Protein backbone atom coordinates (compact mmCIF):
# COMPACT_ATOMS: atom_id res chain seq x y z
CA UNK A 1 0.00 0.00 0.00
CA UNK A 2 1.48 3.35 -1.06
CA UNK A 3 0.31 6.63 0.35
CA UNK A 4 0.71 9.99 -1.32
CA UNK A 5 1.23 12.96 0.89
CA UNK A 6 1.06 16.62 -0.03
CA UNK A 7 2.45 18.93 2.58
CA UNK A 8 2.78 22.63 3.18
CA UNK A 9 3.43 23.86 6.72
CA UNK A 10 0.12 23.77 8.58
CA UNK A 11 -1.65 21.56 6.03
CA UNK A 12 -1.19 17.89 5.27
CA UNK A 13 -3.14 15.76 2.78
CA UNK A 14 -2.74 12.00 2.97
CA UNK A 15 -4.25 9.43 0.63
CA UNK A 16 -5.30 6.37 2.66
CA UNK A 17 -6.92 3.82 0.33
CA UNK A 18 -8.29 1.66 3.19
CA UNK A 19 -10.66 4.51 4.08
CA UNK A 20 -12.50 4.26 0.77
CA UNK A 21 -16.11 3.22 1.36
CA UNK A 22 -15.34 2.30 4.99
CA UNK A 23 -17.41 4.63 7.13
CA UNK A 24 -16.43 2.94 10.39
CA UNK A 25 -12.70 3.42 9.78
CA UNK A 26 -13.26 7.01 8.67
CA UNK A 27 -15.13 7.77 11.92
CA UNK A 28 -12.45 6.06 14.00
CA UNK A 29 -9.68 8.02 12.32
CA UNK A 30 -11.58 11.30 12.60
CA UNK A 31 -12.13 10.72 16.34
CA UNK A 32 -8.46 9.90 16.82
CA UNK A 33 -7.32 12.98 14.90
CA UNK A 34 -9.69 15.28 16.79
CA UNK A 35 -7.94 14.24 20.00
CA UNK A 36 -4.42 14.93 18.74
CA UNK A 37 -2.56 17.88 20.24
CA UNK A 38 -1.99 20.70 17.75
CA UNK A 39 -4.55 19.61 15.16
CA UNK A 40 -6.98 22.33 14.14
CA UNK A 41 -9.16 20.45 11.67
CA UNK A 42 -9.36 17.08 9.95
CA UNK A 43 -11.49 16.49 6.86
CA UNK A 44 -11.93 12.93 5.66
CA UNK A 45 -13.39 11.69 2.39
CA UNK A 46 -14.98 8.28 2.22
CA UNK A 47 -15.11 8.61 -1.58
CA UNK A 48 -11.43 9.34 -2.24
CA UNK A 49 -9.90 7.88 0.90
CA UNK A 50 -8.02 11.07 1.60
CA UNK A 51 -7.57 13.08 4.77
CA UNK A 52 -6.79 16.78 4.89
CA UNK A 53 -5.29 17.77 8.22
CA UNK A 54 -4.79 21.37 9.25
CA UNK A 55 -2.45 21.78 12.20
CA UNK A 56 -0.55 24.40 14.15
CA UNK A 57 3.14 24.05 13.18
CA UNK A 58 4.20 25.58 16.49
CA UNK A 59 2.44 22.77 18.41
CA UNK A 60 3.05 19.68 16.25
CA UNK A 61 4.73 18.64 13.02
CA UNK A 62 3.80 16.75 9.90
CA UNK A 63 6.34 14.08 10.91
CA UNK A 64 4.58 13.54 14.25
CA UNK A 65 1.20 13.26 12.53
CA UNK A 66 2.56 10.82 9.94
CA UNK A 67 4.24 8.77 12.67
CA UNK A 68 0.89 8.51 14.47
CA UNK A 69 -0.86 7.40 11.28
CA UNK A 70 1.90 4.85 10.69
CA UNK A 71 1.67 3.56 14.28
CA UNK A 72 -2.08 3.07 13.85
CA UNK A 73 -1.53 1.12 10.63
CA UNK A 74 -3.17 3.62 8.30
CA UNK A 75 -0.05 4.26 6.25
CA UNK A 76 3.12 2.32 5.40
CA UNK A 77 5.23 3.45 2.46
CA UNK A 78 4.89 7.13 1.78
CA UNK A 79 5.83 9.45 -1.04
CA UNK A 80 5.96 12.99 0.29
CA UNK A 81 5.31 15.72 -2.21
CA UNK A 82 6.47 18.95 -0.61
CA UNK A 83 4.64 21.86 -2.16
CA UNK A 84 6.74 24.83 -0.98
CA UNK A 85 9.10 24.46 -3.95
CA UNK A 86 6.28 24.35 -6.48
CA UNK A 87 4.52 27.21 -4.75
CA UNK A 88 7.78 29.18 -4.71
CA UNK A 89 8.22 28.70 -8.47
CA UNK A 90 4.63 29.68 -9.15
CA UNK A 91 5.08 32.76 -7.00
CA UNK A 92 8.15 33.77 -9.02
CA UNK A 93 6.23 33.41 -12.28
CA UNK A 94 3.32 35.41 -10.87
CA UNK A 95 5.66 38.16 -9.65
CA UNK A 96 7.33 38.42 -13.06
CA UNK A 97 3.94 38.53 -14.80
CA UNK A 98 2.63 41.28 -12.51
CA UNK A 99 5.84 43.30 -12.87
CA UNK A 100 5.62 43.16 -16.67
CA UNK A 101 1.92 44.03 -16.56
CA UNK A 102 2.57 47.09 -14.40
CA UNK A 103 5.51 48.20 -16.59
CA UNK A 104 3.35 47.95 -19.71
CA UNK A 105 0.52 49.88 -18.07
CA UNK A 106 2.89 52.64 -16.95
CA UNK A 107 4.49 52.89 -20.41
CA UNK A 108 1.10 53.14 -22.12
CA UNK A 109 -0.08 55.72 -19.60
CA UNK A 110 3.03 57.81 -20.21
CA UNK A 111 2.54 57.64 -23.99
CA UNK A 112 -1.14 58.57 -23.61
CA UNK A 113 -0.23 61.50 -21.34
CA UNK A 114 2.35 62.83 -23.82
CA UNK A 115 -0.13 62.44 -26.69
CA UNK A 116 -2.75 64.35 -24.70
CA UNK A 117 -0.36 67.21 -24.04
CA UNK A 118 0.61 67.58 -27.71
Q: Are 5 and 80 in contact (CB under 8 A)?
A: yes
SS3 69: helix
Query: 78 with 89, same domain?
Result: no
- Does one domain contain both 38 and 92? no
* Per-residue pLDDT reduced to its tens digit, 55-95: 999 999 988 999 888 888 888 765 555 545 455 566 777 77
Range of the domain at 8: 2-82
The number of C-alpha atoms within 13 Å of 67 and in the hemisphere containing its C-beta is 6
In this structure, the answer to whether residues 97 and 77 fall within a common structural domain is no
The domain that holds 7 is classified in CATH as: 3.30.70.100
- Beta partners for residue 6, in sequence order: 13, 81
**At a CB cut-off of 8 Å and minimum separation 6, what does 25 contact?**
18, 19
Question: Whole-model pTM above 0.95?
Answer: no
Nearest to 84 by CA among 13, 7, 15: 7
Instruction: Specify whether 42 is located in the same domain as 29.
Output: yes
Which whole number is the average pLDDT over 21-33? Answer: 90
33 and 60, same domain (yes or no): yes
User: Across residues 15-19, what is the average pLDDT?
Assistant: 88
> Is residue 71 a contact partner of residue 36, using CB atoms and an 8 Å limit?
no
Task: Say how many domains are in the chain.
Answer: 2
Does one domain contain both 88 and 74? Answer: no
Amino acid sequence: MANYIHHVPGRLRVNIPVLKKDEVRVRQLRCYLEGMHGLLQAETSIVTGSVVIKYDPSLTSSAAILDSLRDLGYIRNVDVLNQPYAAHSLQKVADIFVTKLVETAVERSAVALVAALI
